[in-house]
Structure 1
Amino acid sequence: MRILVTGAAGFAGSHFVDALLADAYRGWEGARVTAFDLRPVPRRHARVEAVRGDVGDPFLLRELLPGHDAVVHFADATHADTAELVRTNVLGTHTLLDALRGSGVERTVVVSTADVYGPRTDGGPWTEDQPLRPDTPYAASRAAADLVARSAWHTHGVDLSVTRSAPCYGPRQHPDRPLPRRLTALLEGTRPRGREDRPGPSEWLHVDDHCRAVHLVLNRGRAGETYHVGGEPVAPAALTERLHTLTGTRAAHHRDTGTPRRALDDSRLREELGWTPAVSFDRGLADTVRWYRDHPGWWTAARHTREAATAAA
């Protein structure tokens, strides 16, 4: 089994690669991995071939794809201007899926996000038939990529599925993301600025549970189908309190806005593929806080690298 993972140097992509190399998925033991990313892939392993390249490069992809059994497309620009978001997320997805035609690759999963639905305004969890109503350039680029994926399946018969997940968390997530930003500020003894001390999402998914879901969809999902990967509902005030407790810092009082509700209906994933989350939020958050506490050099370097790149842009 040989699998190509785009965005393999990123948060979720790197965890997915680690799980493959640890033989965490039954039936995929011994799988060889092509770790594809524009950034350096730090993982060194006998079963990994690291390839630096742009997902928007059709010539490289057509040379690289033959010989692979499957592709998982994690590559995703988040902190960029609108032009770069469109180039990477939309055109990059199109270029990859176009290169898959005639490549011999049997199966593909395009990893997306619940952001494509826009802000939640109704009372019930969204099903996969919820209209796409993105309200940010990032969300719009992801929604467009999802539609490109659907058209590749419907028009050209590319055997693919799409996953859309709740907000993820876990070790090695970049410190500019919402939860690590608050967590690292607390570990540094500084207070997050203004509203940053009130985490917005009310549903959280551990990255390991996310990766297991992606593997299940890759292995047994229906072609042309979209699968939600939901998280555990957590009230924003409760999350803030847990972060302060785990970091041993003093919490300001925040008014609880009520019982959190699930944003995503993931019954399709649960009923068709048998997925259930394995990492409770309490355990996952404690493990995450411990990792950031033990690796200050990693997240300070990651922050400085991003700041330097932004200043140079």
Structure 2
Amino acid sequence: MAWNFKSVAIIGSGAIGLYYGGRLAQAGENVKFLLRSDYDEISANGLKVESCDGDFDLPKVQAFHTPEEIGPVDLVIVCWKATANASLPDVLPPLLHCATEVLTLQNGLGNCESIAGIVGPERVLGGLCFVCINRLSPGLVSHTAGGKIVVGEYAEGAEGRAAEIAHRFKAAGIPCSAADNLQRAQWEKLIWNVPFNGLSVAEGGVTTDILLADPAIEDRIRAIMHEVVAAANAQGLGVEESWIEWNIERTRPMGPYRPSTMIDFVEGRELELGPIWEEPIRRAEEAGVAVPEMRRLLSDMRHRVAERDARQ
């Protein structure tokens, strides 16, 4: 039996949450946003999105300060950085009824497990966003490329959930597909995230065009990507080597793109080291794969963060 949803709560209304939640709301879905720093601006003036797929404004947005004000919904979409996951035990329960599903669009590994520990694995889905997007200011989002989401089941659940979410997202103008293997899709996303997010920090806070302008750094990107693929395949996931060149070539036209971790770094925020670097390294080595380039990258990132924090 197909599963359906009639109400959505967006948890983490940064670039990802505002963009995808905004697309759903524009299409007529009943979307409620949990807002903090943007609450006053969006409550008063709505949401504006500058998009390569067409700009749009939402003059009226369902904005809330607390999950208790939102109340139970059919679908919760977790969009905040994993560094905020300590708040999940307080935020999720007020949003649940007996059949609520929880979809995480967070980067890296371990987020589904964190959510499953609170709501139960049968409720949980994971999604991967392949998009270039930044929040420019309160209530203003810039979308410059991509936009596809891949959604998959974390564990055995109600038949048709991922396909229904993909169908509804596509109806809202969001390219979306249902994955037959969520874990494989997560590792495929890491092929880009590990090197590009990581090296943008390790090199001192630089954009992707600067990384690819240096042949030595491009070689390092490829070496890291090969380790990610090897780690995935040691777990039986069947990730194709062709993802390496595809990810590098799709990055060249992005120009001076600022990866999300680079933005967190230059703005003095905590980085998502756990899900994007530490947990993949742990799983790789548990599967018997040495990942010296990934370990070197993590060490370089920690060094940069320590330098930054010492200056603050």
Q: TM-score, normalised by structure 2?
A: 0.45
Per residue, is there more helix in 1 or in 2? 2
Q: TM-score, normalised by structure 1?
A: 0.44
Per residue, is there more strand in 1 or in 2? 2
